[in-house]
Amino acid sequence: MSDSLMGIWGTLTFDCTVLDDLVHGAGNIGNQQAFRKQHLLLDGEEREVPFVSGNSLKHMIRWNGVVYALMQMGLSAGAHFSKAAVDLLASGGALTAGGGTVNLERRRRLCELFPILSVCGFSSGNDMHGSLIKVSHLHFVCEPNLFRLPSRYRAEIEGQMPDGMLLSEQFGTRHDQAGNPLVRRLMAPASSARADERKAKRDEAKTGKDAKGDSQQMIYSMETVRAGARGVWRLHLQGLYKPELFAVLSALAQASTERSEQEGDPVLVIPIGGKTAVGWGRVSMRMTSTMRTETIPPELAESFVALTTDSPNLNTIRESYQEHLRSNRDEILAILEEAAK
């Protein structure tokens, strides 16, 4: 069954719950990394409301979609691309040429062969392809945000909370290993002597309270959104063909660390924001969809609400997406290099 002429239109809405405090840095205030905030004037009051930027979430989709596709193509670890091609894959490339004639044939072929690029948009030569998804910011449920959240949150306890209750503070530590006796054994004598010299200078400079001892521990602190906070994130699909829809879904699946189901809706746990490598930022996202039914291909119509669960029709299309990537591997690698020049 072919795609509708307009492609698939609709909105995926993710009801989010923060599982581990979320870090999303926006510069430092004193020694603390501040959480990113939006300044709004609501009912005559200025409010600073924390949010996660759509830009960071869109990058999460782009890169995970690319990683999934490269894995399906069976690429082994190693050097396969030029740095310009990696830039095209990781951040959408750059305009690198002038001229009034755009190579439409190449653009069509690139979108067809490697759909995640047309989903997230790219620049190549003198051609700029717009994104087929519009990614919203992730807003948290609190009283100042009620005007832009689904109306059901007005009746919920989080909907009465001021924005300040969302925020918390966490800290991490790192150690100066030069003072560690085990590390000292591994250091060359010259390095060890330099470390002693630096320590002696530090001790000399310390007075009063600081002179009591020499800690090898350094603390950094950051403003976070608390675990337990709830939020809403939307992903607007604007005319995607079936392989492009699967590129989006594969990106979400690739980004997730856990997948489950709640009352028929898929639930993904996706690490977002900063410091996810050290445990922060796990967010549970329950996905519901509101689609423009006239744009949904008939074979997807019944199963659309359960996009990431096992549905025979969706599995067929997923398998054809994977097969497409595997069988066109060489052509994909070649056109990526050509487009990135």
Partner 1 sequence: MMEPLRITAQMAEPVIVMGNALHFDGILAYGAYQALTRAEKEALPPLPGADWAEDMDLPLERWQRPGIALPGVHPRLLWAGSVWGWKASAACARWLSHDRHEVRKKPAVDEMARLSRDGRVQIDGMRFKASDKRYPTLWAPVIRWYAVGDLPEVARLLSYVVGVGKLCGQGMGHLCFRDDGMPDWTVEPWHSDWSCYAETADGRVTMRHMAKEDPSELDLYRAEAIRAPYHHACRRYPCEPFDGTALAKYACDE
Among 17, 19, 34, 94, binds partner 1 (CB under 8 A): 94
Among 29, 30, 76, 151, binds partner 1 (CB under 8 A): 151
| Ramachandran angles phi, psi of 256, nearest 5° | -85, 150
305 near partner 1, rule: CB under 8 A: no
188 near partner 1, rule: CB under 8 A: no
Q: DSSP code of 44?
A: T
Contact criterion met (CB below 8 Å) for 113 and 329: no
Contact criterion met (CB below 8 Å) for 291 and 10: yes
Q: Write the interaction track for partner 1 spanning residues 9-38; mark x where CB under 8 A is met and - where it is not.
A: xxx-x------------x-----------x
Beta-carbon contacts of 214 under 8 Å, excluding residues fewer than 6 positions away, are 179, 199, 202, 203, 206
295 near partner 1, rule: CB under 8 A: no
Which lies closer to partner 1 via its Cβ, residue 48 or residue 176?
48
Among 31, 290, 293, 316, binds partner 1 (CB under 8 A): 290
73 near partner 1, rule: CB under 8 A: no
95 near partner 1, rule: CB under 8 A: yes
Q: DSSP code of 5?
A: T
Residue 263 CB, nearest distance to partner 1 (Å)? 18
Which lies closer to partner 1 via its Cβ, residue 51 or residue 321?
51
SS3 state at 312: helix
Residue 36 CB, nearest distance to partner 1 (Å)? 9
CA atoms of 311 and 318, how far apart (whole Å): 10
Residue 86 CB, nearest distance to partner 1 (Å)? 5
Among 96, 216, 260, 262, binds partner 1 (CB under 8 A): 96
Q: What angle do CA 21, 11, 146 make, to 5 degrees?
A: 55
Q: Which range binds partner 1 by CB under 8 A, 47-55, 195-203, 217-225, 316-324?
A: 47-55
Calculate the alpha carbon distances from 242 to 25, 130, 304 in Å: 36, 18, 12
Q: DSSP code of 188?
A: -
Calculate the alpha carbon distances from 313 to 85, 198, 204, 299 in Å: 34, 66, 73, 7
6 near partner 1, rule: CB under 8 A: yes
CA atoms of 176 and 11, how far apart (whole Å): 49
Residue 22 CB, nearest distance to partner 1 (Å)? 16
CA atoms of 287 and 169, how far apart (whole Å): 29
Beta-carbon contacts of 51 under 8 Å, excluding residues fewer than 6 positions away, are 36, 37, 38, 137, 138, 139, 140
Q: Which range binds partner 1 by CB under 8 A, 188-196, 206-214, 238-246, 258-266?
A: 238-246
- Tokens found for residue 169: 């503070």
Which lies closer to partner 1 via its Cβ, residue 94 or residue 195?
94
For binding to partner 1 (CB under 8 A), which residues are involved?
A: 5-7, 9-11, 13, 26, 38-42, 46, 53-55, 58, 63, 77, 79-87, 89-91, 94-96, 98-100, 102, 104, 108, 121, 126-128, 130-131, 133-137, 139, 147-148, 150-152, 234, 236, 238-239, 241, 290
